[in-house]
Amino acid sequence: MELKQIFLPDSNPENIYSTYENQLMPRIFFDSEKAKKIFETNKNIISRIVETEITNYINDDDLCSDSENMFPKRSVLTGEWYISSICFEDEMLSVSSALLGTDMGFKDDYLGLEIHLKYESDTNEFVLYGIDSSSI
């Protein structure tokens, strides 16, 4: 399945959790200015890692298919996704994403994937630490 990242349009001055329904930009938390600078410097690399991991997850038949009793079901997904939150503290970066589905008869949040990356300060690299999934 081919995926397309969308960007929710509304500002989020209270920094609350973003959903497709509220259309708020991602909630963002950095534990320091240094963490914010590291993130900003590596934003393109982080984006590529996140998009690759989401694509790999969705296209893995053991994790996502249309088999009976399977969640998530690939046929329910629209292919659209967005970042709902970013949290970078203690050299751990968590990027929460939401994938849209039509299981309720209309487009809405369906699958949450949280990609965890470890920042290796010695090499200035982000390394995949894990992925968590949830129904949203």
pLDDT digits (tens, 9 = 90+) for 97-112: 999 999 999 999 999 9
The answer to whether residue 10 sits within a structural domain is no
**Inside any domain, residue 14:** no
Question: Is there a domain that residue 18 lies in?
Answer: no
Task: Point out the residues of the chain with pLDDT beneath 50.
Answer: none
5 located within any domain: no
Are residues 100 and 78 in contact, defined by beta-carbon separation less than 8 angstroms?
A: yes
How many distinct structural domains can be found in the chain?
1
Please report whether residue 97 resides in a domain. yes
Cα 7 from chain centre: 12
Q: Note the pTM of the prediction, 2 decimals.
A: 0.94
